[in-house]
Amino acid sequence: MRILLVEDDSLIGRAVEQALRDAALAIDWVQDGDAALSAIKTEDYSLLLLDLGLPGKDGFEVLRLLRQRKYSVPVIIITARDAVEDRIKGLDYGADDYLVKPFSIDELQARIRAVIRRKNGNATPLMDNDILSLDPATRKVSCDSKVYDLSSREYALLHALMLRPGSILSRAQLEERIYGWNEEVTSNAIEFIIHGLRKKLGKDTIKNVRGLGWMVSK
């Protein structure tokens, strides 16, 4: 899952970037509103973390333009502004949630999970099909009543597939979902991760659709 962080404070930006990367999320970080708008034009993000006080266009303006341009990407506002009017304005401008700084990274992660769950129309926190069950809160996967610990990349890739069970994702689509801008991707990286996943979880867990990509069953 790939997230865009819009935050001009380097200290906070670095901390959030690192923490979310450790949590197996792909994250791109920009420091002003225009950079955010152009990143959203070119990349397919699952979620936007948006600071309000930004140089140039502020967060409200970025949010207003996004929604005006019909981008439906979920937005969580992260800001030091805790006035009720700001929260109301943020939500009414089309944000999905609002978190006041300083916040705990654990709470941020839980809110990200909740927003993604809602976006995908899931009431329950577990993602499962007939074969696999994946828990975004613990990043554990169960299969045949065994529980598996996956590497960050393995988890990120499986999560991307489980978000769209029954749909084929190509190598490029998987790369886009699990790697951020600053991360180097080797040409066979995706095949390598899939190979590792199948070895752990069993061959039938991820189907290879020759020439097109991979999928998990519905």
d(CA 101, CA 179): 27
Query: CB-based contacts of 189: which residues, under 8 Å, 6+ apart?
Result: 175
Is residue 56 involved in binding Ca ion (CB under 5 A)?
no
Give the binding-site size for Ca ion (rule: CB under 5 A).
3
Is residue 55 involved in binding Ca ion (CB under 5 A)?
no
CB of 76 to Ca ion, least distance (A): 15
By beta-carbon proximity to Ca ion, the closer residue of 87 and 200 is 87
CB of 79 to Ca ion, least distance (A): 7
Is residue 51 involved in binding Ca ion (CB under 5 A)?
yes
Candidate list 53, 55, 56, 166; residue touching Ca ion; CB under 5 A:
53
Q: Which stretch binds Ca ion (CB under 5 A): 46-54, 105-113, 153-161, 201-209?
A: 46-54
By beta-carbon proximity to Ca ion, the closer residue of 50 and 206 is 50
Angle at 177 between CA 185 and CA 63, to 5 degrees: 125
Q: Which stretch binds Ca ion (CB under 5 A): 8-16, 121-129, 140-148, 174-182?
A: 8-16
**Residue 20: exposed, middle, or buried by beta-carbon count in 10 A (0-12, 13-18, 19+)?**
buried
CB of 62 to Ca ion, least distance (A): 12
Pairing of strands 140-143, 132-135: antiparallel
Is residue 8 involved in binding Ca ion (CB under 5 A)?
yes
By beta-carbon proximity to Ca ion, the closer residue of 32 and 135 is 32
Q: What is the DSSP string of 26-94?
A: EEEEESSHHHHHHHHHHS--SEEEE-SS-SSS-HHHHHHHHHHTT----EEEEES---HHHHHHHHHTT
Residue 207 has φ and ψ, to the nearest 5°, of -95, 140
> DSSP secondary-structure letter at 202?
-
Is residue 32 involved in binding Ca ion (CB under 5 A)?
no
By beta-carbon proximity to Ca ion, the closer residue of 61 and 128 is 61
Interface positions, 89-118, toward Ca ion (CB under 5 A): none
Q: What is the DSSP string of 19-38?
A: HHHHTT-EEEEESSHHHHHH
CB of 143 to Ca ion, least distance (A): 43
By beta-carbon proximity to Ca ion, the closer residue of 8 and 43 is 8
Q: Which residue sits closest to Ca ion, CB atoms considered? A: 53
Positions touching Ca ion (CB under 5 A) are 8, 51, 53
